[in-house]
Amino acid sequence: MKVQILFEDNYLVIVNKPNNVLVHNSYYARNIKDATLLNLLKEQLGLDLYPIHRLDRKTSGVLVLAKQKDQVAKFQELFNANTIKKSYLAIVRGFVDEAIEITTPVKNPDTKVYKDAATSCKPIEKIELDIAVHPYKFSRYSLVELIPKTGRMHQLRIHMNKVSRPIVGDYKYGDRFHNRMFETEFACKNIFLHANSIQFKHPILETVISVNATLPDDWNKIIKLFNWKI
């Protein structure tokens, strides 16, 4: 599997992470034996790289990695100071008719302590299909932009579930009936959550970095089928 390189300089590499690829080995994914993103990039670029932020295994899109381990902290300061602009695209169950702010606290999986979390959700497109999904004789979906204002684990997935607009293809926090429909009707098994763009000021070069990640095949199929405009 070749990983798409979106940007590279002497300090960092920004990639378009595929669905269902672990960034690195971890306790939470100890049973997954597939090659990690770091393994793939080591083979592809011949470099040891160091992730600056997180991206779920099942989520696709923009991921920033440092070339030197001792540079990671400089880039992470941007995230901690909330000066990085990140945008995600998601397909969710139901209609989202107006912009909403979600501020439900999210539980830390290690400490079990709830921490403040905030997400902005903005509608882009919507559709009603004449395809029955339990318990209704039809199905409704929205394409939304999600902007995380904090960085909790699984924050976007948890927040969309909290407002009864779970992300399609999410088997942990989503709706199994809608997930199953996308599998049987459209042959789409991946989660429809994509880290679409990132923008930040390079802490070393002081230039503005702005990167967008192209959408996976499943996304392109659904967008064309639903006649959505992005």
Q: Which amino acid is at 107?
A: K
Written as six digits, the tokens of 177 are 């009936």
Cα separation, 230 vs 217, in Å, equals 15
Cα separation, 181 vs 132, in Å, equals 9
CA angle 56, 124, 192 (to 5 degrees): 25
**What is the signed CA dihedral for 71, 6, 122, 93, rounded to 10 degrees?**
-110
Ramachandran region, residue 74 (left: φ > 0; alpha: ψ -120 to 50; beta: rest): alpha
Q: Is 34 a catalytic residue?
A: no
Report helix, strand or coil for 93. strand
Cα separation, 128 vs 141, in Å, equals 7
Backbone angles phi, psi at 170, to 5 degrees: -90, 105
Catalytic entry in 34, 56, 110, 218: 56
Residues involved in catalysis: 56
